[in-house]
Amino acid sequence: MKEEMEKILRKNALNRPTLCKSCEGIMVYCGLGEYRCEECGLTEFDDYGKVRDYLEHHHGANVAEISDATGVTHKSIRDMIKENRFEVIDNRGGYLRCELCGTNINSGRLCHECELLFHRKVEAEARNERLRGRNKNMSGFGENTRVDKGTKRFTRER
């Protein structure tokens, strides 16, 4: 268990605070990237919380401005946009492109049309797999029935 926790803490993709800087207390997650110390009540933010807080006060800021002000890397901000946590406003420069067709998008990995096609393909494959599995195990009435002859189903022991 300890090894698993160490792996999680080492990974720490969004630079989540685990110990309080002032009193070494445990930081508890409160939501939306905010962490609060159990001991002294100090509030800290992970990378997502820093970016979110900055954008609340500076609407329309670009990635370079956000990165300079918060110290969060461009890659982390780009990953957050791809996870649909934020949206690029006024996408003139082609900051994000659809991974299938290459059109400019504001957030996520796929444009709306490619996302619809992708989900329809996944649904069709699931239907085909379900039908193949259903036909494999199907049997007609009375076929493949298992009858245990000469054995008791229930016993009464007193």
Q: DSSP for 36-76?
A: EETTT--EEE-HHHHHHHHHHHSTT--HHHHHHHH---HHH
| pLDDT at 22 > cutoff 60 | yes
pLDDT of amino acid 72: 92
**Residue 90 confidence (pLDDT) above 80:** no
Q: What percent of the chain shows pLDDT beyond 70?
A: 73
* Mean pLDDT of the 17-45 span: 89
What does the mean pLDDT of the chain come to? 80
Could you tell me what percent of the chain has a pLDDT over 90?
27
- Indicate if the pLDDT at residue 58 is higher than 70: yes
CA angle centred on 144, ends 140 and 149, rounded to 5°: 135
Count CA atoms closer than 13 A to 47's CA, side-chain side. 19
- Of 24-38, 71-85, 105-119, 126-140, the one with minimum mean pLDDT is 126-140
Helix (H, G, I), strand (E, B) or coil at 104: strand
User: Contact 104/97 with Cβ under 8 angstroms?
Assistant: yes
Length in residues, the chain:
158
Average pLDDT over residues 8-20: 67
| pLDDT above 60 (res 93) | no
Greater confidence, 42 or 130? 42
Structure-block tokens of residue 116: 């619809």
Q: Determine the pLDDT at residue 56.
A: 92
Q: Is pLDDT of 20 > 70? A: yes
Digit-coded pLDDT (tens) for 96-151: 888 889 888 888 999 999 999 999 999 999 888 888 876 555 555 555 555 556 66
In this structure, what token pair is assigned to residue 46?
A: 């992970």
